[in-house]
Structure 1
């Protein structure tokens, strides 16, 4: 039986203070008692959801080196998004750091125009679907959650996945949408969905209630925590997911389509 252990870290974020956030997450990860495969941090976990691109780092910067060190020391995958600069462009980039020091990354596809993210960052145009212990994991970032086509399961072998993972800075005032859409993505794609959000006020005095969630393929909520910092490790069962898909073979009837980028 294939199992996947995922640890979600719902945390406050120190506004635009990379050093303080890295020290905080070091302590939180060092406190883990249960074995895990993947540790998930929120969106822009070193700064909060900031448009101050002067804080961006390169792929050789301190945050990437910190992720590499933590992953190697703890023998876990560490993931979350950070500001990255490449040439004259800035990206809200999710890093997927493996214990062997190798990494993958995903640039946020849907930029939050309401918050002027699109005026500061460049959108990505490709997905990252990675594999851990027999599970295929599709990683996305915050506002991507509102666009179901980008997450839609496809019959193409390179687009199938078992877990849909979102890292976020999703405000409390839209928390009903967050919870509803996480559940919808799980049901329509017959997959586990993991959504990891921050808590507390950011530098713009916008409150985040967290509502970190794990949802199964039937839309049942396996884990939910709101309004406080929380570290939680959950075990996902591939056998259970396969049984749902066999009993309700809805994905085979899905439309085939291509997204033009």
Structure 2
């Protein structure tokens, strides 16, 4: 449908450092997604959980998962996005992949590695934004801790949708809720957050709160349980709001040093 995007958010527990079992789990969930979906969003590190021992994951698993994403994207005729542990040249990345229905792959390395957990010691930080043009929408892709840094997501390129995939634990979930809404309002865009649920190997609890907010901060959908939730977003509505409330025209101009765009 023109100027509309049907989005499915897959909220699930993750099996610790077991890529094959996680792919099997998400396969069963994706298989039941409605055929008219355009974009399927999975959590951060959806094949392993938020592991700080990437050396435990076979380096071949990254490419196996990309092929798995391509197969499902083709099967569902929908784009699929999520981040995984990806290793190359003896380096490790928390890398997001956006896979088109035709198999084309775009990637983004997490800019803000989570120092509280030591992620910066295990994974290479990225320096590039990834904004994908898909079905008439410009989509800006981010990962978890990026949510806390508004300058990195500032809408200087007139994108339409901001996506965060995450493993965001229960003790700080109020910040997750608040910042997703804030990113939508300040950037006058749709903002999507997909989190996991359950407990990880370290005993951390995750309660989901996957959600979509519109450009005025209205919550369109929300979940706290294991399920796939979906909603249509409307670009015409977004453009009408921006035409009426021209806040983006008053934004500050700035340049991020050391960033490649």
Instruction: State whether TM-score is above 0.5.
Output: yes
Distance in 1 separating the partners of 2:78 and 2:4: 15
Match of residue 247, structure 1, among 240, 244, 247:
244
Mapped contact 2:185–2:215 kept (Cα < 8 A): yes
CA deviation profile, 1:37-87 (whole Å, cap 9, x unmatched)? 110000000000001112153587211111111111221111100011121
C-alpha displacement of 1:99 = 1.4
Distance in 1 separating the partners of 2:187 and 2:83: 24
Task: Report what 1:4 is aligned to.
Answer: 5
Match of residue 217, structure 2, among 212, 216, 219:
219
Structure 2: stretches of 5+ with no match in the other structure: none
Mapped contact 1:56–1:90 kept (Cα < 8 A): no
Task: Report what 1:122 is aligned to.
Answer: 124
Match of residue 143, structure 1, among 142, 145, 148:
145
Mapped contact 1:56–1:83 kept (Cα < 8 A): no
User: How many pairs does the alignment contain?
Assistant: 256
Kindly report the root-mean-square deviation, in angstroms, between the aligned alpha carbons of the 2 structures: 1.2
C-alpha displacement of 1:33 = 2.5
Mapped contact 1:58–1:86 kept (Cα < 8 A): no
TM-score by length of 2: 0.96
TM-score by length of 1: 0.96
CA deviation profile, 1:189-226 (whole Å, cap 9, x unmatched)? 00000000000001101000000010000011111111
C-alpha displacement of 1:88 = 2.5
Distance in 1 separating the partners of 2:217 and 2:151: 18
C-alpha displacement of 1:160 = 2.3
Distance in 2 separating the partners of 1:256 and 1:179: 27
Match of residue 205, structure 2, among 197, 204, 207:
207
2:62 is equivalent to residue 74 of structure 1: no
> Cα distance 1:58–1:161, how it changes in 2: closer, same or farther (>3 A)?
farther
Alignment of 1:18-167 (within 5 A): 18-54=19-55, 55=57, 57=59, 61-154=63-156, 159-167=157-165
What's the secondary structure of 2:30's corresponding residue?
Answer: helix
Distance in 1 separating the partners of 2:257 and 2:193: 26
> Cα distance 1:59–1:126, how it changes in 2: closer, same or farther (>3 A)?
farther
